[in-house]
Amino acid sequence: MTDFAYEMISQSERLPNVGIIVLQTDETIESDLRRLLPPEKCNLFVSRVPNGTEVTHETLGAMADEISGSAQLFPRNAHFKGVAYCCTSGTSVIGVGRIGELVKQGCDCDAVTEPVSSLVDACRRRNISRIAFLSPYTESVSAHLRSVLAEHGIESPVFGSFNEANDSRVAWIDRQSIVDAAKSLGVRDEVEAVFMSCTNLKTIDLLDEVSQAIGKPVMSSNSVLAENLLQLVDK
């Protein structure tokens, strides 16, 4: 055997790291963020968190017991500019502050984000305070999330849902169903924009189509989360 000497890549040459904690049932956000976060700007690391297939207040809240353990599965020596917990409804149940604490217990990161804070930030930057809210989930789950948004000054006077309790089915709601629902809600005069909730809903390729059709901004959990993560990378 021949031993070779080697040099380490310097810190200045390394790209910043971004981590995402994805629900076990989610089949959408990982591929979306690999498209939305330029590989020349950051390294993207993914961990998974166990979650119940049925989406209820109780199953969403139960994820709090698993978040720190999921964060611990990122590379031990890696420092992250930002780590995102990728569940919109789960964030509303567990709480933004608590999620930040749980993630930082498991990994070394500068900042923690999630879809709720990301949406609030995106709406403020766009001067939006009244949205049409499209959810895949039951009304009771969505009502809590909408109330949390209202506490941050974002009202959702127009609401629609696919009323699906099984998260494994959400990823496969088809394109036209989502487009038709979003357009139907977004044309209402009392709203300034559309928000399509849930990181598992396939929305990224629909945003421009719906926006052009209704003449208003259209956002989704994954689009606002990507915006927020890029802001963290650039800090």
**Residues 126 and 101 occupy one common structural domain:** no
pLDDT for res 12: 86
**Residues 143 and 104 occupy one common structural domain:** no
**Residues 100 and 125 occupy one common structural domain:** no
pLDDT for res 139: 87
**Residues 150 and 204 occupy one common structural domain:** yes
pLDDT for res 188: 97
The count of domains in the chain is: 2
Distance CA 157, CA 170 (A): 23
**Residues 176 and 107 occupy one common structural domain:** no
Q: Is residue 1 part of a domain?
A: no
**Residues 193 and 216 occupy one common structural domain:** yes
Q: Is residue 144 part of a domain?
A: yes
Q: In terms of Cα–Cα distance, which of 131, 117, 53 is closest to 82?
A: 117
**Residues 207 and 123 occupy one common structural domain:** yes
Q: Is residue 2 part of a domain?
A: no
Helices (H), the chain: 29-36, 57-62, 67-71, 88-94, 96-106, 115-125, 139-151, 167-170, 175-186, 207-214, 221-234
Q: Is residue 36 part of a domain?
A: yes
pLDDT single digits (tens) 79-131: 999 999 999 999 999 999 999 999 999 999 999 999 999 999 999 999 999 99
Q: Is residue 134 part of a domain?
A: yes
**Residues 21 and 110 occupy one common structural domain:** yes
Those residues of the chain that have pLDDT short of 50 are none
pLDDT for res 98: 97
pLDDT for res 18: 98
CATH number of the domain encompassing residue 59? 3.40.50.12500
pLDDT for res 11: 86
- Would you tell me how many other CB atoms lie within 10 Å of the CB of residue 4? 4
**Residues 103 and 143 occupy one common structural domain:** no
**9 burial type by CB count under 10 A (0-12 exposed, 13-18 middle, 19+ buried):** exposed
Q: Is residue 9 part of a domain?
A: no
Distance CA 178, CA 206 (A): 8
Q: Is residue 5 part of a domain?
A: no
pLDDT for res 160: 97
Distance CA 82, CA 85 (A): 10
Question: What range does the domain containing 46 cover?
Answer: 14-114+224-234
pLDDT for res 71: 98
pLDDT for res 53: 86
Q: Is residue 4 part of a domain?
A: no
**Residues 128 and 89 occupy one common structural domain:** no
**Residues 123 and 175 occupy one common structural domain:** yes
